Structure 1
Amino acid sequence: METLFNQIQQLVADKIEWLDRNVDEDYGQLDMLYRDDEDSDTYPLTFPLVLINIPDTSWTSMGGAFGKVQSGTVTVSVKLAMDCYDDTHFTSGTADKAQERADKVHELHSLLQGWMPMHSSSPLDRKTSRSQTMTRGIKVYELNYECRMIEDANQI
């Protein structure tokens, strides 16, 4: 289970060239962009970027000695953040920039949907998606997936 983040990070970094391997764990970097205090120290963000979080897993014991083998339904959140400095109103001449962003979201989703992680008993399956517009011209597309993982606490 602990390797799931690394597997997804490697997959996205290797397969989506325009990201320039800009894939990280989501630990609130986007929220820290808007704070100006001593607790918001983080390295500068480069866009586009993908942030991965595994916020929730529901576990069920499957058996084995002392219930050491478990099956978990894992929630995986993948955010694609892009800067949106292009004028996309209809007569701007650059209205296609909005479509380019939509195409990138679709490429990311196409890579993840149905992908089978190691130690899983089901592939990633998208459950929800949403977009959020942030100040400073940042748009965040969030894709939430589920899969089932099997973990044996006896194995390292």
Structure 2
Amino acid sequence: MEELYISILERIQNEMPEIAYIDEDYGQLEGMDSENDDFYPVTFPCVLIGNAEADWKDIGMGTQAGQIQLTVRLGIDCYHDTHIGSGTTDKIRERMELAGKLYRTLQGYRFSGFMDEMARIKSKDYTLPGNIKVYEIVFEFNFRDESALQDSLHHR
């Protein structure tokens, strides 16, 4: 799975050079408002991937098939006043277009022969303290994990 994460991060980097920060999601956005100095600063726009959830089935010989759900979050700092009449409502369009580009970058993506194409199953947007807009997309795909295959061959 670690190679899958890295592959997705690299795909986003290659297809979306306008993204300033791309990483595994370990709560960076939620930690920004805390007084905890241990959080690494995030630059915007950022894309964070994580919160994977999997249902696994054993298919034998140390191999499992999983149906994976993976969350991808686009965070954008919103410092423009975008109310009607402000003259900057185009910033709303820019944010939504960036979220659409992220979706198109990953929709149908396939890392290897161990994986089916990624397909969006859910999306939402919300705000966080500090004028941060988050566009969240949940992708689903099937994945075959053979990492225990070697162990099962050695234990015979």
Cα displacement (A) at 1:17: 1.3
Unaligned runs of 5+ in 1: none
Cα displacement (A) at 1:6: 0.6
Task: Specify the alignment match of 1:129 in structure 2.
Answer: 123
Task: Specify the alignment match of 1:16 in structure 2.
Answer: 16
SS at match of 2:2: coil
Identity %: 36
Cα displacement (A) at 1:121: 3.9
Structure 1's 121 and 88: CA in aligned 2 closer, same or farther, altered over 3 A? Answer: same
Per-residue Cα deviation, 1:57-77 (whole angstroms, up to 9, x for no partner): 11101123xxx0110111111
Task: Specify the alignment match of 1:36 in structure 2.
Answer: 35
Cα displacement (A) at 1:119: 4.0
Question: Could you tell me whether the CA contact under 8 Å between 1:5 and 1:54 is conserved in 2?
Answer: no
Indicate which of 45, 49, 74 corresponds to 2:46: 49
Is 1:96 the counterpart of 2:95? The answer is no
Task: Specify the alignment match of 1:62 in structure 2.
Answer: 59
Is 1:72 the counterpart of 2:75? The answer is no
Unaligned runs of 5+ in 2: 152-156
Output the CA distance in 2 between the equivalents of 1:54 and 1:79: 10
Is 1:112 the counterpart of 2:106? The answer is yes
Mean alpha-carbon deviation: is it higher for 106-115 or for 1-10? 1-10
Structure 1 runs, 4 residues or longer, greater than 2 Å off: none
Is 1:154 the counterpart of 2:149? The answer is yes
Indicate which of 81, 85, 89 corresponds to 1:87: 81
Cα displacement (A) at 1:155: 4.9
Output the CA distance in 1 between the equivalents of 2:51 and 2:4: 9
TM-score, normalised with respect to structure 1 = 0.90
Output the CA distance in 1 between the equivalents of 2:30 and 2:107: 27
Question: Could you tell me whether the CA contact under 8 Å between 1:13 and 1:23 is conserved in 2?
Answer: yes
Give the letter aligned to residue 24 of structure 2. Answer: E
Output the CA distance in 1 between the equivalents of 2:150 and 2:109: 24
